[in-house]
Amino acid sequence: MSLRFLLPENGVHDLIESWPDDPRVYEREPSPIDRSITPEFFETWAFSGCVPADEIAVMNHGANPPRPSINPAGYKTNGRTDGKKLRRYYEQGFTIRLGNLQRVVPFLHAVTHQIQQETGFSNYVHAFLTPPGGQGLRHHWDQQMAIIVQIAGTKTWELWKPKFPDPVRTYAESTRVWDERWRAEWEASGPDHTVDLAPGQSLLLPRGWVHNPHARTASKSSIHLTFAIRERTPLWLAEQLTAGLIEQAEFRALVMPSEIHGAGLAARLEDTRARLIQYLETLNPHEHVTAVRAAARTELEYTT
- What pLDDT does 249 receive? 96
Per-residue pLDDT at 23 exceeds 80: yes
Per-residue pLDDT at 303 exceeds 70: no
Per-residue pLDDT at 111 exceeds 80: yes
What's the chain's average pLDDT? 95
CB of 90 closer than 8 Å to CB of 42: no
- Give the chain's end-to-end CA distance (angstroms, integer): 30
H runs (alpha helix) in the chain: 3-6, 9-18, 32-36, 39-47, 83-91, 106-119, 174-177, 181-189, 234-242, 249-252, 257-261, 265-282, 289-298
Across-strand partners of 196?
156
- What pLDDT does 304 receive? 35
Give the total residue count for the chain: 304
Percent of the chain with pLDDT over 90: 92
**Pairs from 103-107 (Cβ < 8 Å, separation ≥ 24):** 103/55, 104/50, 104/51, 104/52, 104/55, 105/45, 107/32, 107/36, 107/37
Per-residue pLDDT at 131 exceeds 80: yes
Q: Using one digit for the tens of pLDDT, what is the confidence trace for 168-222?
A: 999 999 999 999 999 999 999 999 999 999 999 999 999 999 999 999 999 999 9
Domain(s) labelled CATH 2.60.120.650 in the chain stretch across 3-229
Q: Using one digit for the tens of pLDDT, what is the confidence trace for 231-251?
A: 999 999 999 999 999 999 999
CB of 116 closer than 8 Å to CB of 123: yes
- What pLDDT does 302 receive? 63
- What pLDDT does 156 receive? 98
Percent of the chain with pLDDT over 70: 99
Provide DSSP, 223-268. EEEEEEE----HHHHHHHHHGGGGGSHHHHSPPPHHHHHSTTHHHH
Segment 101-116 shows an average pLDDT of 96
Q: Using one digit for the tens of pLDDT, what is the confidence trace for 56-87?
A: 999 999 888 888 889 999 999 999 999 999 99
Decide if domain 3-229 falls under CATH 2.60.40.3120. Answer: no
- What pLDDT does 122 receive? 96
Sign of the CA dihedral running 68, 74, 80, 82: negative
Letter string b/e over residues 194-207, b meaning 16 or more CB atoms within 10 A of that residue's CB: ebebebebbbbbbb
Distance CA 219, CA 224 (A): 16
Per-residue pLDDT at 92 exceeds 90: yes
Segment 258-263 shows an average pLDDT of 92
